[in-house]
Amino acid sequence: MIRFESITKTYPDGTVAVDSLDLEAPSGQITVLVGPSGCGKTTSLRMINRMIEPTSGRIWLDDRDTGRIPAAELRRGIGYVIQHAGLFPHRTIIDNVATVPYLLGWDKKKARTRAAELLEQVGLPAHFAKRYPAQLSGGQQQRVGVARALAADPPVMLMDEPFSAVDPVVRDQLQDEFLRLQSELGKTIVFVTHDIDEAIKLGDQVAVLRVGGRLAQLATPAELLNRPVDAFVAGFVGRDRGYRALAFSTAGRLSTREEPTVRLGAPVPAGTDDADGWLLVVNDADEPQGWLKLGESGADGEVVTDAMLHRGGTLAHQGGSLRAALDAALSSPSGRGVVVEEDGRLAGSLTASEVLALIENPLPQPEPQP
């Protein structure tokens, strides 16, 4: 856990970069600091490893006051990744990665074995070990930067716009792999970006800062998109946040309509009065299989077979996202999105307009767990 306790940073020229910031980055989670350029993100991040000393306030690393730990010692225990990787051009990739182990006095062989392990973990082929940074592309250098930060297995990682300088396709890929890595490693991460999309994609919690270094909102990505606290956050999160929000806001328990069904292998019910003629087909376990169009196969009294089913349409899960619910509704042949329970049994159905109504007026959601 990293805790900012009324941290203020005033630069010698009088610029207040961070203004009495209180913030907690929980252990094992990614906390993203996001905000417009110059809002004090980098300053905040660099105060954690004392690359910048706060003017007042304290930063706690678990129960230790960072101000009382010698700077070099503190930093060796904190992974540090920066925008332009900052690899050492005169050292081979493997020796770059082994930097902190060398500083900690590991023997060369052990340090290199560990470094080789990490290269593999961040997705670089083993023969890169003997290359120099100048022989790598920007994206590859960033991977090395991440590997180097992880080398001594620090519990905490600080990352300052690590993926901002690479092209969007590579960035996306690096972000995905970063999330995969984090799911394996469970580090306590503070991640700085100016890109709200990146913040929302990567953050377990997102701290939006406004210029002048004040915390505007600290929330989960879903909460931030659904309930920005003020016009600044709303504006920063963006006008298209409604659509973006769908992917993140959990729908809660959807109140679905009960859907008449027919079992696979049962006779097609005669004389159904369902106006639109679409009937949902389920199997013996009550799991939706597809839609039957009554009167299509001409078949009153016939047995429902696989061949008769319209299978278009994705399924939404109870407790899934509104985006999934909307997708289900929009892709369903009947126009009614099929919602299933976690175990796959049919829960009911929902039309697109009902999902949209939920987007406009979200259900009260349970408070996110800290």
Ligand X SMILES: Nc1ncnc2c1ncn2[C@@H]1O[C@H](COP(=O)(O)OP(=O)(O)O)[C@@H](O)[C@H]1O
Q: Residue 15, interface with ligand X (CB under 6 A)?
A: yes
- What is the residue-wise DSSP string for 206-240? EEEEETTTEEEEEE-HHHHHH--SSHHHHHHH-TT
Q: Residue 88, interface with other proteins (CB under 8 A)?
A: yes
- 13 contact, one of ligand X, other proteins, Mg ion, none, CB 5-8 Å limit per kind: ligand X
Contact 85/139 with Cβ under 8 angstroms?
no
- 132 contact, one of ligand X, other proteins, Mg ion, none, CB 5-8 Å limit per kind: other proteins
Q: Mapping DSSP to helix (H, G, I), strand (E, B) and coil, where does residue 307 land? A: helix
- 37 contact, one of Mg ion, ligand X, other proteins, none, CB 5-8 Å limit per kind: ligand X
Q: Residue 226, interface with Mg ion (CB under 5 A)?
A: no
Q: Which is nearer to ligand X, 111 or 209 (CB)?
A: 209
Q: Residue 87, interface with other proteins (CB under 8 A)?
A: yes
| Binding to Mg ion, residues 14-43 (CB under 5 A) | 42
d(CA 58, CA 55): 9
Q: Residue 137, interface with other proteins (CB under 8 A)?
A: yes
Helix H or strand E encompassing 262: strand 261-263
- 255 contact, one of Mg ion, ligand X, other proteins, none, CB 5-8 Å limit per kind: none
Within 10 angstroms of residue 264's Cβ, the number of other Cβ atoms is 18
Tokens of 136: 């790598």
Of 43, 66, 92, 193, the one binding other proteins (CB under 8 A) is 92
d(CA 86, CA 208): 26
Q: Residue 6, interface with other proteins (CB under 8 A)?
A: no
Phi, psi of 165 (to 5 degrees): -90, 0
Q: Residue 243, interface with ligand X (CB under 6 A)?
A: no
Q: How far is the CB of 183 from other proteins (least distance, A)?
A: 14
The β-bridge partners of 257 are 349
Helix H or strand E encompassing 250: none
Q: Which is nearer to other proteins, 70 or 298 (CB)?
A: 70
d(CA 136, CA 91): 13
- 173 contact, one of Mg ion, other proteins, ligand X, none, CB 5-8 Å limit per kind: other proteins
Closest CA to 348 of 369, 370, 367, 329: 329
- 309 contact, one of other proteins, Mg ion, ligand X, none, CB 5-8 Å limit per kind: none
Of 12, 14, 89, 370, the one binding other proteins (CB under 8 A) is 89
Which residues lie near ligand X (CB under 6 A)?
Answer: 11, 13, 15, 17, 37-43
